[in-house]
Amino acid sequence: MSGNHFDEACTAVQAALDTGARYADARVMLRRSESMSARDGDIEDMSSVESAGIGVRALVGSSWGFYAVPDLSDSAARAAGRRAAQIAAASAMVPGPAIDLVPTGAGEADWASPCEIDPLSVSQSTKGDLLVAATGAAKAAGADLAQGLLQVWDTQKWFASSDGHRIGQHIRECGGGVWASAFGDGEIQRRSWPSHRGQYGTRGWELVDGLALVENAPRMAEEARQLLTAPLCPSGETTLVLGDEQLALQIHESVGHAIELDRILGWEAAFAGTSWLDLDQLGTLRYGSDLMNITIDPTIPGALGSFGYDDEGTPAVKRDAVRNGRWVGVLAGRDSAAVAGLDYAGSVRADGWARLPMVRMTNVGLEPGPHTLDEIIAATDDGVFMDINRSWSIDDRRLNFQFGCEIGYEIKNGKRGRMLRNPTYTGIGPKFWQSMDMLSSEIVSWGTPNCGKGQPAQIGHTGHPAAPARFTNVRVGVRG
Amino acid sequence: MSELALAGRVVELVRSAAGPGAEAEVVVWHAAEALTRFANSAIHQNVADATTTVRLRLHLDGRTASGSTTRTDTDGLQALVERTVSAARLSPPDVSWPGLTPPTPLNPGEELDEATARATPQERAVRVRDFVAAAGGLETAGFCRTNYASAAFANTAGQAVEGRFAEAAMDGIGRFGGADGVARLASGRLADIDGAVLGARAAAKARAGGQPIELPPGRYEVVLEPDAVADILANLAMFGFNGKSFAQRQSFAELGAQQFDSAVTLLDDPIGGPGEPAPELPFDAEGTPRASLTLVADGTTVAITHDRSSAAEAGGVSTGHASPSSREWGPFGTHLRLAPGPAVPVSDAAVGPTAESSRALVASMRRGLLITDFWYTRVLDQKSLVITGLTRNGVWLVENGEVTAAVGNMRFTQSYPQALGPGAVLGIGGEAIMLPDRWSGVRHTAPAVHLSSWNLTGNASG
């Protein structure tokens, strides 16, 4: 499969229009991916996937239809366009309000993510040697179980719409991590490097080269072993300092999903859920403290949620979601924005050619604060530091959360003290964010490669700039 | 070309490219998925796709690689074989390769329902329309889905099998005054899915959920309805009876130990039964025939789910639970069935918030909570399977066998095996309901259960 595939996309769009659609778009996608995992110094699984096809979206009246096939022949593209329009017509049996689409500035463009070393050009033996060395080093340092994972995605897509879009994109993503577990009497402790899922970005293999997996694996094993005999995280209310990796997931769960406009409008009510946010309060609601500045920014070079155009053809633009603690922006698509009376979209993506584009996070993260982690700890008389996520759970309105972290440390009189095991914390989103009184400038853009949403299920890739921060009066040490 | 012929062709391409010593297994999977989704009482997403995927796993000179493609023309298949052979030759040695499934006949199963396999967007939309209408003006949301799959497996050891299945499901909520009520059903026959029945049930729950009170955290006696029990089954399957977790000592499971209440008998049942179409293909990703497997018999753990890798590690045999990702995530059951208790006659009087299969259990509870559903459950400690999550779609306070108040959603932190442990199960409902998956193609069948204690660790205030 080579060359561009705008012709197939245009054929499908025209077939949908000919079958009654008033708007249609089509994405031809070719995605090649690789995954390799290792355990205790041996390669455990290695696979490569090639997936190619066309997905067509048609709007008939006020109803959408979508159809996808892995066949790029002219006849298949035409049939897919017709079928999408026929499915949209069936939707009209239970119609909704009239649908408009906010303008996108249609045009022709090409975009590619930055990449120094093509991840697919790196040999399997090089990747295997890296994982064998990293997991072997963790095992040698005392891990009862050492695991490693490397993943690569290479996606080319050609988007055309009846509004005149002709947009080609080539996005390369990769990343990985290493995990060390220690087994105790009835419990397991785990340490992860560089994060609980690894680190991922829209970059080339240079990202993986910079992770220093082998160098950090022994320390993970040692810390996992130390955790088995560390004291339990105390229970009660205290001052909580979060590391940047845990704060990235806190942002993802309690801000990123909450500002998805489809959730706010009730489009995800039965599954992913709704949001505690009410559009009537957009621009006035206090989400967090004055230190809280969250942006929606798909333009960050190399971050996992970056692109040139979303899957509706809207150009990537940086926007505010929370400014000085006030809620000011949402993640939107062309139809949801029109329903909400907003004039911007740009956050719609699909997990492959066979899935419907829907509102997804891009890079949603914090702007830097004025402090450093060392300053935050030095300014804390009594509290707990936690980092590296271990578990996450939040309600369907994105308010009531509980997170567990891999490792904690007590903070006493401005110094980091004893290691703590099984640290957890819980709270209510806006109350928690309003208690943030110190924020570091040490931003890291963490990639989340497994954000689930939609029916049928879709996996999204998102990015989250985050830095260490301090929160007051947080309930910690929740146990079963 | 049939899926079986396509699989055989890939096996031949492997032999040509890698020689007679190569061990290869090929799965050709054709799936036609269609899902009609509604929200704010209107169909807002309506999707379908038809995809054929070819997956090849190859073991060559002691090294293993796998690959898949959606390109089924000659060039696509040739490219799949070439890159998988190349990847295997460059791979580190695979010391845990479990070998191929020998020729083995499939277990007989019930034929699929052709009407479900050929369901139209209009048939799904009719069920949505009926659900919305039966909710009597309440805001509704959910989906109606039909899936059809036909697949074949072939390997170089001579195993060559094929099969088909179809399934339908509906899952929807009614919304009233800030409260949600849910109704779900999965079946091998779309004809079993009645949107009006489900819509009325969801609406009744929603209407009974208004003006919730807030209860303090603590341990409560509970009746868990089938939706909540299905979450317990999913986590037991994924983390407890998972052959890889077991082999790596990350599971609580101990074969031969009385780990559950004697009322608990648990099966994985992927091949259906008399009059019940199989909910899954009759073979797994390694070509091993699927079969019904008893995991817990009268409270005693008696089996673990295995693919060929975990079976080899544990010194057992595959139970037919291989998936494309089972070497990484472990093999786990996807169609667990908790055996129901004795059927108890119940009145057909006004339903209120209580599902039919829960009514006798609620009537026997002096003070406790009736919980409809769980949400966002995550493992805090895998060995003891301590899970945190939230209630969803309706909680009620029960006093002296009667529902007395709606309760706001609460967070829990609870060991699942402990909750079902010896002496902890006070009753099991007389009807097991097949429930649609939330996420990944698993469909568990569950009755309601009455448990002596559930650890609720938070409420709406935090």
Q: Decide if B212 is inside a domain.
A: no
B327:A45 CB<8 A: yes
State the Cα–Cα distance between residues A22 and A163, nearest whole angstrom: 10
Q: What are phi and psi of B107, to 5 degrees?
A: -80, 140
Distance of CA A416 to the CA centre of its chain: 31
Distance of CA A257 to the CA centre of its chain: 10
> B79 and B131 in one domain?
yes
What three-state secondary structure class fits A173?
A: strand
- Give me the amino acid identity at A128: G
State the Cα–Cα distance between residues A151 and A3, nearest whole angstrom: 25
| CA distances for A443 relative to A196, A368, A369, A467, angstroms | 18, 6, 9, 5
Helix, strand, coil content of chain B in percent (nearest 5): 25, 35, 40
Residue from the list B47, B438, B458 with its beta carbon closest to the beta carbon of A356: B47
Q: Is the preceding omega at residue A456 within 30 degrees of 0, hence cis?
A: yes
| Number of domains forming the structure of chain B | 2
Q: Is the preceding omega at residue A194 within 30 degrees of 0, hence cis?
A: yes
Q: Could you tell me if B125 and A90 are in contact, meaning their C-beta atoms sit under 8 angstroms apart?
A: yes
Parallel, antiparallel or unpaired: strands B139-155 and B23-39:
antiparallel
Query: How close A446 gets to chain B, by Cα (Å)?
Result: 21
Residue from the list A270, A457, A478 with its beta carbon closest to the beta carbon of B173: A270
Q: Which residue reads 């569950």 in tokens?
A: B446
- Alpha-carbon torsion (A281, A64, A360, B389), positive or negative: positive
Q: What range does the domain containing B225 cover?
A: 218-458
Parallel, antiparallel or unpaired: strands B336-338 and B266-268:
antiparallel
Q: List the structure tokens of B98.
A: 């479990």
Once rounded to an integer, what is the mean pLDDT over residues A337-342? 97
Chain A contact probe: residue of B26, B27, B36, B45 with most A CBs at under 10 A: B45
B69:A51 CB<8 A: yes
> B395 and B269 in one domain?
yes
A96:B40 CB<8 A: yes
> B272 and B408 in one domain?
yes
Once rounded to an integer, what is the mean pLDDT over residues A335-347? 97
Q: Which residue reads 């408009």 in tokens?
A: A100
Q: Could you tell me if B88 and A58 are in contact, meaning their C-beta atoms sit under 8 angstroms apart?
A: no
What is the signed CA dihedral for A247, A251, A356, A98, rounded to 10 degrees? 180
State the Cα–Cα distance between residues A73 and A80, nearest whole angstrom: 11
B411:A402 CB<8 A: yes
Which chain A residues are within 8 Å of B43, Cβ to Cβ? 63, 91-96
State the Cα–Cα distance between residues A111 and B33, nearest whole angstrom: 32
> B158 and B28 in one domain?
yes
Once rounded to an integer, what is the mean pLDDT over residues A439-448? 98
**What is the predicted pLDDT for the residue at A60?**
96
> B246 and B203 in one domain?
no
Q: Decide if B58 is inside a domain.
A: yes
Residue from the list A49, A66, A427 with its beta carbon closest to the beta carbon of B68: A49
Which chain A residues are within 8 Å of B386, Cβ to Cβ? 479-480
Q: How many residues does chain B have?
A: 462
Closest by alpha carbon to A248, among A25, A468, A100?
A468
Closest by alpha carbon to A33, among A52, A54, A8, A53?
A52
B70:A51 CB<8 A: yes
Q: Decide if B135 is inside a domain.
A: yes
Q: Cβ neighbours of residue B410 under 8 Å, at least 6 residues apart?
A: B215, B217, B390, B391, B395, B456, B458, B459, B460
CA-nearest residue to A423 within chain B is: B380
Distance of CA A270 to the CA centre of its chain: 21
**What is the predicted pLDDT for the residue at A468?**
98
- Give me the amino acid identity at B102: P
State the Cα–Cα distance between residues A56 and A319, nearest whole angstrom: 29
- Give me the amino acid identity at A461: H
Q: Could you tell me if A441 and A368 are in contact, meaning their C-beta atoms sit under 8 angstroms apart?
A: yes
**What is the predicted pLDDT for the residue at A59?**
98
- Give me the amino acid identity at B86: S
| CA distances for A252 relative to A394, B392, B449, angstroms | 11, 21, 35
Residues A208-228 pLDDT 10s: 999 999 999 999 999 999 999
What residue ranges do the domains of chain A occupy?
6-227, 236-476
State the Cα–Cα distance between residues B308 and B317, nearest whole angstrom: 7
> B330 and B297 in one domain?
yes
Q: Decide if B383 is inside a domain.
A: yes
**What is the predicted pLDDT for the residue at B119?**
97
| Domain end point (choices B154, B174, B207) | B207
Query: How close A347 gets to chain B, by Cα (Å)?
Result: 17
- Give me the residues paired with residue A294 across strands: A322, A366
State the Cα–Cα distance between residues A215 and A130, nearest whole angstrom: 11
Q: Cβ neighbours of residue B333 under 8 Å, at least 6 residues apart?
A: B237, B241, B268, B270, B293, B295, B305, B321
Q: Decide if B213 is inside a domain.
A: no
Q: Decide if B109 is inside a domain.
A: yes
CA-nearest residue to A426 within chain B is: B462
Q: Treating both helix axes as pointing N-terminal to C-terminal, what angle do A74-91 and B121-134 enclose, rounded to 10 degrees?
A: 20
Q: Decide if B396 is inside a domain.
A: yes
B250:A265 CB<8 A: no
Residue A255 CA neighbour count, 13 Å, CB half: 38
What three-state secondary structure class fits A23?
A: strand
Q: List the structure tokens of B300.
A: 């005693």
Q: What percent of chain A has pLDDT over 90?
A: 96
State the Cα–Cα distance between residues A54 and B335, nearest whole angstrom: 32
Residue from the list B142, B172, B328 with its beta carbon closest to the beta carbon of A44: B328
**What is the predicted pLDDT for the residue at A315?**
97
> Quick one: pLDDT band at residue A71, thresholds 50, 70, 90?
very high
Residue A396 forms contact with B (CB below 8 Å): yes
> B178 and B224 in one domain?
no
Q: Angle at CA A66, nearest 5°, toward B55 and B32? A: 35
CATH at B46: 3.30.2290.10
Q: Could you tell me if A191 and A388 are in contact, meaning their C-beta atoms sit under 8 angstroms apart?
A: yes
Once rounded to an integer, what is the mean pLDDT over residues A435-455? 97
State the Cα–Cα distance between residues A286 and A325, nearest whole angstrom: 6
- Give me the residues paired with residue B434 across strands: B445
Q: Could you tell me if B432 and B230 are in contact, meaning their C-beta atoms sit under 8 angstroms apart?
A: no
Q: Decide if B432 is inside a domain.
A: yes
> B302 and B180 in one domain?
no
**What is the predicted pLDDT for the residue at B262?**
98
Q: What are phi and psi of A28, to 5 degrees?
A: -95, 130
In eight-state DSSP terms, residue B217 is S
State the Cα–Cα distance between residues B308 and B98, nearest whole angstrom: 6
Q: Could you tell me if A68 and A80 are in contact, meaning their C-beta atoms sit under 8 angstroms apart?
A: yes
Once rounded to an integer, what is the mean pLDDT over residues A235-251? 98
For the cut 70, the answer to whether the pLDDT of residue A72 exceeds it is yes
CA-nearest residue to A123 within chain B is: B90
Residue from the list B83, B249, B327 with its beta carbon closest to the beta carbon of A183: B249
- List, as ranges, residues 412-471 from A with C-beta within 8 Å of B: 422, 424, 426-428, 431, 452, 455-457
Q: Could you tell me if B188 and B163 are in contact, meaning their C-beta atoms sit under 8 angstroms apart?
A: no
Which chain B residues are within 8 Å of A424, Cβ to Cβ? 380
Which chain B residues are within 8 Å of A51, Cβ to Cβ? 53, 68-70
- List, as ranges, residues 194-223 from A with C-beta within 8 Å of B: none
B324:A132 CB<8 A: no
> B111 and B246 in one domain?
no
> B96 and B56 in one domain?
yes
Chain A contact probe: residue of B44, B329, B374 with most A CBs at under 10 A: B44
The CATH number of A6-227 is 3.30.2290.10
Q: Where are the beta strands (DSSP E) in B136-273?
A: 139-155, 160-176, 179-187, 218-224, 266-268
State the Cα–Cα distance between residues A186 and B421, nearest whole angstrom: 16
The mean pLDDT of chain A is 96
Q: Which residue reads 């108890």 in tokens?
A: B344
Q: What percent of chain B has pLDDT over 70?
A: 97
B415:A480 CB<8 A: yes
State the Cα–Cα distance between residues B26 and B3, nearest whole angstrom: 10
> Quick one: pLDDT band at residue A8, thresholds 50, 70, 90?
very high
**What is the predicted pLDDT for the residue at A292?**
98
Q: What are phi and psi of B116, to 5 degrees?
A: -70, -40
State the Cα–Cα distance between residues A298 and A371, nearest whole angstrom: 26
Residue A217 CA neighbour count, 13 Å, CB half: 30
Q: How many CB pairs under 8 A join A and B?
A: 273
Chunked mean pLDDT (size 10), chain B, 462 residues:
96 97 97 97 97 97 95 96 93 89 93 95 98 98 97 98 96 96 96 97 96 96 97 97 93 97 97 85 97 97 97 95 92 96 69 82 96 95 93 97 96 97 97 84 91 92 68
Q: Could you tell me if A193 and A147 are in contact, meaning their C-beta atoms sit under 8 angstroms apart?
A: no
Residue from the list A52, A271, A478 with its beta carbon closest to the beta carbon of B71: A52
**What is the predicted pLDDT for the residue at A2?**
62
- Alpha-carbon torsion (A420, B418, B218, B231), positive or negative: positive
**What is the predicted pLDDT for the residue at B352?**
76
| Domain end point (choices B149, B180, B207) | B207
Q: How many residues does chain A have?
A: 480
- List, as ranges, residues 169-188 from A with C-beta within 8 Å of B: 181, 183, 186-188
Largest CA distance in chain B: 73
Query: How close A300 gets to chain B, by Cα (Å)?
Result: 30
State the Cα–Cα distance between residues A449 and A456, nearest whole angstrom: 18
> B282 and B237 in one domain?
yes
Once rounded to an integer, what is the mean pLDDT over residues A403-417? 98
What three-state secondary structure class fits A413?
A: coil
**What is the predicted pLDDT for the residue at B347?**
60
CA-nearest residue to A189 within chain B is: B381
**What is the predicted pLDDT for the residue at A399?**
94
Q: What is the H or E stretch that residue A385 is in?
A: strand A382-394
